[in-house]
Amino acid sequence: MPNFWSTNLPKLGQMTAAVAIFFAVLGAIFFIAGRANGKMQKPIAVVVLLGPAVLLLLFGLVGPTIRTVVLSFKDAYGHKFIGFSNYKWLFTDPDMRKVLLNTVLWLVFTPFVTTALGLLLALLLDRMKRESIPKSLLFMPMAISFVVGSAVWKFVYAYANPGDPQIGLLSTIVRHLGFTPSNWILTQPLNTFLLMVIFVWIETGFAMVILSAAIKAVPADILEASALDGATGLKLFRGITFPMVRPTFIVVLATMVATSLKLFDIVRTATGGNFGTSVLANEMFSEVFNYFNQGRGSAMAVILFLFVMPILAYNIFNLRRQRTIS
C-alpha cells in the first residue's frame, strides 16, 4: 500500500517546479525592464505591467469563454456539431422551463428586496447612537458562506410529522399560532421563496453598509437647507437623499442581480435542486458533472453569460456618466 510521501511527493515536486518557473519568468521580465533605457523603456514598461494581466485574461477568461460557446453547439461529448439543439432543448423542455422560471423569480425578487431592505435599514440606523452595534449584527451573516447559511436555515425549515415534536423554528411558530405546519421544503412554489429568504438574510448587511456610507456622504449643508425649506421625512428622502445615493443604489442592485444569476450554493445545499427549486446555475453543474453532458451545460453557461452582460454594460455606462458629470 503506497504511503503518503510516495503518493504526494511527485505532486509536491511539480508544484514547486511551477512556482520556481513563475518566479524565474517574473525575475527575467523585471531584469530586462530594469536594463531598458531610451526609446524602448516605455514599451517595455507597458509590456511588463500589462503583459501578465493580458495573458491571464486571455487564458483564464477569453479562451474558456470561446470554448464554452463552441461546446454549446456540440453534442454531450463535444465531438459533433448539432447546431442549436441544446438551446432548443433548454427552452422547450418542461423541466427546464421550470428552471428558467425559478431563475427569473430569483432575478426579480431577491435583488430588489435585498437592496431596498438594505436602504431602509441604512436610513433607520443613520445618525443613531451606537449605530455600529446593530450594523455589525446585521452585517454578521456576511461572514459566513451561502453553504453554511443554508445549513443553518435548514434547521429553521425543518419539519416533523404531526404527532412528533417540531424542532424547526418556523414549524414551531406556526403551531403556537394555532395553525398546522407543512413540509416547507416540499411545498411548491413556497420553497423557492423560502430559499430566497436565505439570500436576503446574508446579503442585506452588505447592501446596508454600502448604502449607509453613501447616505453619510450626502453634504450636511444640503440637508439643512432642505429642512429649512420644509423638506422633511419622506419628502426629504425623495427629493434629496435618494437622488444623491441613486448611483450607489444602482451599483448595489446590479451586484445583487449578478449574484442571484450565478447562485448555486443555496439551492445545492438546501434542496439539491429537487422539489421544483432548481435554478440555471445548479442545472449547469448537474449537466456537466453529474450527467457528463458538456453541450447542454455549456448552453446554460452561455445563457447565464448573456443575462449578466447587459447588467455589466449598464454598470459601466452608469459609472462613465457619473465620471463625466463630476
Question: Do 190 and 259 belong to one domain?
Answer: yes
* Averaged pLDDT, 116-136: 87
Q: 7-11, 81-85, 189-193, 276-280: which has the minimum mean pLDDT? A: 7-11
SS3 74: strand
Q: Is residue 220 part of a domain?
A: yes
Question: Do 191 and 294 belong to one domain?
Answer: yes
DSSP structural state of residue 164: S
Domain end residue (candidates: 12, 36, 71): 71
Q: 46-50, 192-196, 206-210: which has the minimum mean pLDDT? A: 46-50
Q: Residue 326: what pLDDT?
A: 59
For every residue of 16-42, DSSP letters joined together read HHHHHHHHHHHHHHHHHHHH--GGGHH
Cα separation, 146 vs 196, whole angstroms: 11
Cα separation, 113 vs 120, whole angstroms: 10
Give the best-scoring range by mean pLDDT among 6-20, 202-216, 260-274.
Answer: 202-216
Cα separation, 309 vs 258, whole angstroms: 9
Percent of the chain with pLDDT over 90: 28
Cα separation, 2 vs 284, whole angstroms: 37
pLDDT, averaged across the chain: 84
* Averaged pLDDT, 291-300: 91
Percent of the chain with pLDDT over 70: 91
Question: Do 233 and 148 belong to one domain?
Answer: yes
Question: Do 274 and 173 belong to one domain?
Answer: yes
Q: How far, in Å, are 51, 86, 299, 302 from residue 287 at the CA level?
A: 36, 12, 10, 14
Question: Do 45 and 93 belong to one domain?
Answer: no
Greater confidence (13 vs 257) lies with 257
Total number of domains constituting the chain: 2
- Give yes or no for residue 229 having a pLDDT over 50: yes
Q: Residue 119: what pLDDT?
A: 92
pLDDT digits (tens, 9 = 90+) for 63-100: 888 999 999 999 888 888 998 999 999 999 999 999 99
- Give yes or no for residue 248 having a pLDDT over 90: no
- Give yes or no for residue 318 having a pLDDT over 50: yes
* Averaged pLDDT, 110-128: 90
Domain end residue (candidates: 71, 94, 115): 71
Question: Do 127 and 248 belong to one domain?
Answer: yes
The parent domain of residue 131 ranges over: 86-325
Domain end residue (candidates: 40, 71, 102): 71
CATH number of the CATH domain containing 253:
1.10.3720.10
Q: Is residue 80 part of a domain?
A: no
Q: 34-38, 62-66, 125-129, 231-235: which has the minimum mean pLDDT? A: 34-38
Question: Do 203 and 62 belong to one domain?
Answer: no
Q: Residue 1: what pLDDT?
A: 44
Question: Do 45 and 20 belong to one domain?
Answer: yes
Q: How far, in Å, are 54, 120, 143, 213 from residue 206 at the CA level?
A: 31, 13, 10, 11
Q: 8-12, 117-121, 122-126, 271-275: which has the minimum mean pLDDT? A: 8-12
Question: Do 267 and 139 belong to one domain?
Answer: yes
* Averaged pLDDT, 161-184: 84
Q: Residue 176: what pLDDT?
A: 85
**Cα distance from N-terminal residue to C-terminal residue, the chain:** 69
Q: Residue 193: what pLDDT?
A: 93
Greater confidence (235 vs 116) lies with 116
- Are residues 68 and 301 in contact, defined by beta-carbon separation less than 8 angstroms? yes
pTM for the whole structure: 0.80
Q: Is residue 81 part of a domain?
A: no
- Give yes or no for residue 34 having a pLDDT over 70: no
Sign (positive or negative) of CA dihedral 165, 170, 176, 177: negative
Q: Is residue 77 part of a domain?
A: no
* Averaged pLDDT, 123-137: 85
- Give yes or no for residue 111 having a pLDDT over 50: yes
Q: Is residue 78 part of a domain?
A: no
Greater confidence (41 vs 290) lies with 290
Q: Is residue 120 part of a domain?
A: yes
Q: Is residue 108 part of a domain?
A: yes
Question: Do 112 and 222 belong to one domain?
Answer: yes
pLDDT band for position 204 (50/70/90)? Answer: very high
pLDDT band for position 321 (50/70/90)? Answer: confident
